[in-house]
């Protein structure tokens, strides 16, 4: 099974190769190749998922040795490292594979319509194929090394895709920003992987789980820090970079410069999910490190809250979704941080579906009205009924309305956070920020819906030209909207106390299996069980209340216009300013790190390049070449030509002259010579005889 699963990642990779080499010459610029490839992946991934559903558990893996390295003698714990890579199929993988292939397939399908007629159409499909291949490879990896390779490949693809409209300066800047910002996290993450090799000599997930269960690695230090905490924080930094967590969240909103299907792919189903997926894969290690998890929780909670606040004031439809993505990713990270591991993973899956739907719907709207500014939209409900319906369903899901998928996962995360704060006194900020975010999320999502689809058309011309999209674009929306219902993941309503009568909980069963595999199966004491039960009950009520409040406030402000948003804006004053400028993070980074640090460093490098590399190495090399040329030229002239060529001739002519002196033409001289030669010859002959 694991070998066949490799095909899932290989199909899009092959599509990428074909597309990038001959895509332009193919009919339709080869878009069908990419779509068919990802469909092939989906077809291969489905049986694995169905096996999980029917048997409740899948596990398979295979390994190949990539290379054996003789280690440095200085390594205390491991003197030699054998790098073994392979494929790991477990419940997590099965769910992720289906989610990624399905979302990616629908996004590919949507792209066929959305990107129609664009320049570099074939390259777009090449890139998203590579992107899908990288994400699927990452999910399939059984070790952090290939995981990291795919992780970096996605960074590359995000760079290429965000900068796809390469003629727009803002797109280029955004692509560089995304690439550089994630690079910070990636570098630290790689140090974490190095740390893992240092203490365990492997980065295989199953080996790590086993090692942690056995308790090895405690007491080892790296750079003076406890090894597990060090690795845990480095892994967290990787996640912070890739999943756009505070304080490295700045790249994600700018990444909206890419084509909308790309936003859906990067920011819903694949890349940002990879960061959370990493946390989930490494959860046993984070848990064993003790100090890491609270930090994870705080990072997630702060990110969720701050991003949600920014989303309120955005007017660009994609920017709203971008900040909501950051906010929801914060939820997932928070979920992992408070130990609500399965809830975090569930939110990853549910969010992927409804956020992909939201992004594609926004793409549909943008494609229709040719603007991203919500102030120029309005009244699109009747013009684009399918888009409206699907986007509304997805909005209900993200806002946490019962019966929809987002409610189930978010409620569980919030319950977990509340339970965490009850168990660990003093961490009240985490659930507080969580609930506040839930309310704000409902508020801004409904604000977006109202501004886009309800009310009167604020731009008559654009409204007039708006139209519903063709089927290739609406079918993905409908499928993704259908996946936004709670029943797909849990019981009919998602409220645990009601649904325990009819257990359809394939997801929970799957996650329990994973926890056993990881060695972190929860065995709660009755008291803890009671606390959890109480927390979840309380969380349910509070989250329903805040979501309801958010929707209510949004409705009276943006639908009924009983409250004026402008008045609030003026009332909030400096606060509004702060949020509108995204807490001045960009300015901060630009001012402190880029201008003060990086730019100076760049200038230093440029000077070095100019003065040292160019002058000394390049020009110096020229000088050396000139001198060498002269020396060789002289050698050629003097030694080869003069000495050897001319010299030979001179020797010959000189010899000729010498010999010519004997040829006097005088018979008697010849005779004298003859006699002398004979005398000499006889003399020597005589010597010989004696």
Partner 1 sequence: MNHLLSFSSSLQGYLAVGAILFALGIFCVLTRKNAIGILLGIELILNAAGINFVAFSKFRTGLIDGQIVALFIMLIAAAEAAVALAVILRFYRLKQTIDADEASILRN
List residues near partner 1 by CB under 8 A.
663-668, 671-672, 675
Torsion of the alpha carbons at 44, 49, 50 and 53, rounded to the nearest 10: 180
Distance CA 28, CA 25 (A): 9
Residue 678 CB, shortest distance to partner 1, in Å, is 10
Q: Give the residue with the Cβ less far from partner 1, 605 or 678.
A: 678
| CA–CA distances in Å: residue 353 to residues 97, 98, 136, 150, 341 | 13, 11, 16, 22, 19
Contact 394, 354 (CB under 8 A): yes
Residue 160, helix vs strand vs coil: helix
HEC letters along 530-557: HHHHHHHHHHHHHHHHHHHHHHHHHHHH
Q: Is 556 or 676 the residue whose CB approaches partner 1 more closely?
A: 676
Q: How far apart, in whole angstroms, are the C-alpha atoms of residue 507 and residue 502?
A: 14
Of 541 and 658, the one with the shorter C-beta distance to partner 1 is: 658
Closest to 375 (Cα-Cα) out of 441, 309, 444, 448: 448
Q: In this structure, what are the phi and psi dihedrals at residue 454, rounded to the nearest 5 degrees?
A: -100, 180
Residue with tokens 């289906």: 98
In the bound complex, what is the minimum distance in angstroms from residue 665's beta carbon to partner 1?
Answer: 3
Phi first, then psi, for residue 64 (nearest 5°) are: -130, 145
Beta strands (DSSP E) in 247-289 are none
In the complex, least distance from residue 679 CB atom to partner 1, rounded to whole angstroms: 10
For the CB of residue 660, give the shortest distance to partner 1 in the complex, in Å: 10
As given in the structure block, the two tokens for residue 670 are: 């010849």
Shortest Cβ 624–partner 1 spacing (Å): 57
In the complex with partner 1, the residue whose CB is nearer, 564 or 664, is 664
What is the closest distance, in whole angstroms, from the C-beta atom of residue 631 to partner 1 in the complex? 47
CA–CA gap between residue 424 and residue 298 (Å, rounded): 13
Residue 372 contacts residue 359 (beta carbons within 8 Å): no
For residue 204, give the 3-state DSSP assignment. Answer: strand
Nearer to partner 1 (CB atom), residue 626 or residue 678: 678
Is 524 or 672 the residue whose CB approaches partner 1 more closely? 672
Q: How far is the CB of 632 from partner 1 (least distance, A)?
A: 46
Tell me which DSSP letter residue 191 carries.
H
Alpha-carbon gap, residue 131 to 266, rounded angstroms: 9
Which CB atom, from 639 or from 679, has the smaller least distance to partner 1? Answer: 679
User: Of the two residues 525 and 661, which places its CB atom closer to partner 1 in the complex?
Assistant: 661
Nearer to partner 1, 618 or 672 (CB): 672
CA distance linking residue 484 with residue 410, whole number of Å: 13
CB atoms closer than 10 angstroms to residue 436: 17
- Closest approach, Cβ 667 to partner 1, in A, equals 5
Q: Which long-range contacts (CB under 8 A, 24 or more apart) does 471-476 make?
A: 472/109, 472/110, 472/112, 472/113, 473/109, 473/110, 473/113, 473/114, 473/360, 473/364, 473/367, 474/364, 474/386, 474/387, 474/390, 475/106, 475/109, 476/106, 476/107, 476/109, 476/110, 476/360
- We find the least distance from the C-beta atom of residue 677 to partner 1, in angstroms, to be 13
Shortest Cβ 684–partner 1 spacing (Å): 20
Beta bridge partners of 85: 64
CB 656, min distance to partner 1, A: 15
**Shorter beta-carbon distance to partner 1: residue 79 or 653:** 653
Taking the least distance from each CB to partner 1, the nearer of 82 and 669 is 669
Least distance from partner 1 to the Cβ atom of residue 672, Å: 6
58: which strand partners?
Answer: none
Buried b (16+ CB within 10 A) or exposed e, 455-492: bebebeebbeebebbeebbbbbbbbbbebbbbbbbbbe
Give the integer Cα–Cα distance in Å for 334 and 318: 24
Nearer to partner 1, 525 or 663 (CB): 663
Of 166 and 670, nearer to partner 1 (C-beta) is 670
Backbone angles phi, psi at 81, to 5 degrees: -125, 130
Residue among 109, 177, 83, 3 at smallest CA distance from 598: 177
Q: Which is nearer to partner 1, 502 or 689 (CB)?
A: 689
Q: Smallest distance, Å, CB 659 to partner 1?
A: 13
In the complex with partner 1, which residue's Cβ is closer, 663 or 686?
663
Nearest approach in angstroms of CB 675 to partner 1 is 6
- Tell me the closest approach of the beta carbon of residue 688 to partner 1, in angstroms: 22
């Amino acid at each position: 099974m694991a070998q066949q699963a490799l095909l899932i990642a290989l199909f899009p990779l092959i599509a990428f190769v074909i597309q990038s080499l001959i895509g332009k010459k193919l009919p339709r610029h080869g878009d069908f190749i990419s779509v068919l490839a990802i469909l092939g992946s989906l077809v291969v991934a489905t049986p694995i998922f169905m096996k999980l559903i029917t048997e409740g558990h899948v596990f398979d893996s295979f390994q190949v040795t990539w290379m054996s390295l003789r280690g440095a003698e200085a390594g205390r714990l491991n003197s030699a490292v054998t790098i073994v890579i392979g494929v790991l199929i477990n419940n997590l993988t099965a769910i992720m594979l289906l989610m990624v292939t399905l979302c990616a397939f629908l996004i590919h399908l949507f792209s066929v319509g959305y990107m129609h007629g664009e320049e570099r159409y074939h390259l777009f499909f090449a890139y998203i194929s590579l992107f899908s291949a990288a994400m699927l490879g990452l999910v399939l990896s059984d070790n952090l090394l290939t995981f990291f390779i795919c992780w970096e490949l996605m960074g590359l693809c995000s760079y290429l895709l965000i900068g796809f409209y390469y003629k727009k300066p803002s797109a280029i800047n955004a692509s560089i920003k995304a690439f550089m910002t994630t690079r910070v996290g990636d570098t630290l993450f790689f140090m974490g992987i190095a740390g893992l090799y240092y203490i365990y000599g492997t980065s295989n997930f199953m080996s790590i789980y086993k090692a942690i269960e056995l308790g090895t690695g405690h007491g080892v230090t790296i750079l003076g820090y406890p090894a597990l905490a060090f690795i845990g924080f480095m892994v967290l930094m990787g996640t912070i970079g890739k999943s756009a967590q505070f304080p490295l969240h700045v790249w994600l909103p700018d990444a909206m410069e890419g084509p909308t299907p790309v936003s859906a792919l990067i920011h819903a189903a694949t890349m940002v999910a990879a960061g959370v997926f990493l946390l989930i894969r490494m959860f046993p290690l984070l848990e064993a490190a003790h100090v890491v998890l609270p930090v994870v929780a705080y990072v997630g909670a702060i990110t969720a809250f701050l991003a949600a606040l920014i989303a309120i004031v955005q007017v660009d439809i994609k920017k709203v979704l971008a900040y909501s993505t950051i906010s929801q990713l914060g939820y997932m990270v928070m979920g992992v941080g408070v130990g609500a591991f399965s809830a975090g993973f569930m939110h990853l899956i549910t969010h992927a579906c409804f956020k992909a739907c939201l992004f594609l719907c926004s793409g549909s709207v943008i494609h229709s009205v040719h603007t991203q500014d919500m102030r120029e939209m309005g009244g699109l409900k009747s013009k684009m009924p399918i888009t409206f319906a699907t986007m509304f369903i997805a909005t209900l899901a993200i806002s946490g309305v019962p019966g929809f998928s987002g409610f189930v996962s978010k409620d569980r995360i919030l319950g977990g956070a509340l339970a965490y704060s009850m168990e660990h006194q003093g961490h009240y900020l985490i659930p507080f920020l969580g609930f506040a975010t839930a309310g704000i999320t409902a508020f801004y999502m409904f604000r977006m819906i109202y501004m886009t689809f309800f009310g009167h058309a604020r731009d008559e011309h654009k409204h007039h030209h708006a139209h519903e999209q063709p089927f290739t674009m609406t079918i993905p929306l409908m499928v993704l909207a259908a996946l936004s219902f709670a029943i797909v993941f849990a019981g009919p309503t998602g409220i645990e106390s009601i649904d325990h009568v009819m257990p359809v909980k394939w997801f929970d069963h799957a996650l329990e299996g994973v926890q056993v595999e990881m060695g972190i199966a929860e065995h709660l004491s009755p008291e803890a069980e009671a606390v959890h039960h109480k927390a979840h009950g309380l969380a349910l009520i509070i989250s329903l209340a805040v979501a309801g409040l958010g929707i209510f406030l949004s409705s009276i402000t943006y639908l009924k216009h009983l409250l004026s948003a402008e008045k609030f804006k003026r009332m909030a004053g400096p606060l509004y300013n702060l949020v509108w400028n995204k807490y001045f993070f960009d300015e901060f980074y630009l001012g402190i790190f880029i201008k003060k640090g990086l730019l100076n460093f760049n200038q230093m490098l440029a000077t070095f390049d100019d003065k040292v590399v160019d002058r000394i190495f390049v020009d110096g090399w020229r000088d050396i070449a000139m001198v060498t040329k002269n020396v060789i030229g002289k050698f050629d002239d003097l030694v080869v030509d003069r000495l050897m060529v001319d010299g030979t001739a001179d020797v010959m002519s000189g010899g000729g002259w010498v010999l010519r002196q004997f040829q006097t033409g005088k018979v008697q001289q010849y005779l004298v010579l003859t006699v002398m030669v004979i005398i000499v010859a006889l003399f020597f002959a005589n010597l010989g005889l004696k």
